[in-house]
Structure 1
């Protein structure tokens, strides 16, 4: 349980930071696709008997390379979909080579937060720290590129490089979150709290801080309720993410708060 709380807190804080830009930049599809794209890495690691985090990071890199390369020749959403299809196909192949097929699928897709070992804390903390520091270091160019690509280019920032940098950060955050909440729920953790935060304040700094706070509350409450009810952690993560977004939208609708202006 101690390992669970430590790793879940690290993953949630990173998801809150990255999720702010996922929402502001309209990158929800990429935030959904990249975790699924990293899942073959965990399957390959299980098949080869190597560290799972290494496999996740490597395939996260493949996802970034595929999306970035194909986006230069077509629409970004099409490039994301094509990359996702190819890597999911590889994941199916790797999983078919394992001896515990159903158990591996469940753990990769829905997470195994109570199965985190002490040896997993270091790699997850290291990759999360790199992603968080990169977000903070690139805060201004990322925000400027989200508001206006033309303005960012006029200020000397290269929109293509900013997009690539953000994809790399998103891939790292997805890779470390996948063993904890699973490929299908990384999206909920990144988008739900960040969307609620964006609707509750129009100040970027406060919105990012609130996104982190809501992500932490989500995973803490999910773990506690899972322990008490014996229901899956993922159910509570998804439910609280949707609830946070609904409350944020309700506040905007009734004029209690103002949404963040692009």
Structure 2
């Protein structure tokens, strides 16, 4: 395996300019997807993220066939599909996941049909589906940076409203918040996060960058603010390690990053200080030891008082 010094040397090699570009895009994507993914995980809308990830595919395919901008094409297709999902999901006749499933498969099939008409179909399709280190043109670096700043800025401006809609939709409606509007905003932001990540991670695997860092962070903390700091950090670390492994062993970059993310999630699932499997078993054993302090018995006839549930991240301290 290539040493870390050799990898750093290659990053500075002018003949390998695509390598630092791919790393920069992966880091920017990790930050944006990490923050957006926190809302996705808290709302339990991973399937929506998957649908949006595949919805951008026809836009990418059209842009590729006509030699247009991939980010613009993917964004337009993703936004259109996100709006359709949000509108159709408002009806009570169908469950949200049913609507998503229809648009999910239809969009992906349309993308496959479009790109199959392009020369070099097999190679282009593989690059779109699984990512490529050399697939990021110089012009996209600035666009990805601007899009990332816009997404993060909107999340900061609308954070409280998005959290309210994410955690309690009925309560948000009671407060007078336009839930459909914030649904659309969140779907569009998910679309933008997916589009800027597709070229390095790939269309099939980009959902992992959206969900895995946030899910890992969720195991490590109960506070939303901390979770939104941990998720981008986890994503960036996985991006660096994944690209290093990919470059060292000549492996697909998207798959390498995703496998590193999966490894981080498994470690957190096992070793998280409060919610990990090991910690839970240790606490369970301590509670079973003779002489340990357990919960005080409730006198007969006295109702059990439960502490009030706290919203995630609203406590101080």
CA distance in 2, matches of 1:153, 1:113: 45
2:117 paired with 1:121? no
Asked if 1:243 corresponds to 2:285, the answer is no
**Aligned-partner SS, 1:231:** coil
- 1:85-119, CA deviations, whole angstroms, 9 ceiling, x for partnerless residues? 22122212211210110011111111113321211
| RMSD of aligned Cα (Å) | 1.6
- Paired residue for 2:279? 255
SS of aligned partner of 2:54: helix
Which of 137, 140, 151 does residue 171 from structure 2 map onto?
151
Deviations 1:117-151 (A, max 9, x none): 21110111122221111122221111122221122
Q: How many residues are treated as equivalent by the alignment?
A: 259
CA distance in 2, matches of 1:162, 1:58: 18
Q: Does 1:38 align with 2:71?
A: no
| Matches of 2:177 and 2:279, distance apart in 1 | 36
Say whether the 8 Å CA contact 2:130–2:255 is kept in structure 1.
no
1:24 matches 2:42: yes
Q: Distance in 1 between matches of 2:133 and 2:144?
A: 13
Return the index of the structure with the highest Cα Rg.
2
1:161 to partner: Cα distance: 1.8
Counterpart residue number, 2:85: 67
CA contact (8 A) 1:110 1:185 kept: yes
- Give per-residue Cα distances to partners, 1:53-82, cap 9 Å, x unaligned: 111111111211221222123321111111
1:54 is aligned, of 55, 72, 75, to 72
Q: Note the residue ranges of structure 2 that are not aligned, 5 or more in a row.
A: 1-18, 281-309, 313-317
Select between 150-159 and 78-87 the one with higher mean Cα deviation.
Answer: 150-159
1:8, 1:180 within 8 Å by CA — same for their partners in 2? Answer: yes
Secondary structure of residue in 1 paired with 2:134: helix
* Residue 12, structure 1, aligned to residue 12, structure 2: no
The one of 84, 96, 103 aligned to 2:123: 103
The answer to whether the 8 A contact 1:12-1:215 is kept is yes
Q: State the 4+ residue runs in structure 1 displaced beyond 6 angstroms.
A: none
Stretches of structure 1 that go unaligned for 5 or more consecutive residues are none
Using the TM superposition, give the Cα deviation of residue 261 of structure 1 relative to its aligned residue in structure 2, in angstroms: 6.7
2: CA distance, partners of 1:149 / 1:120:
37
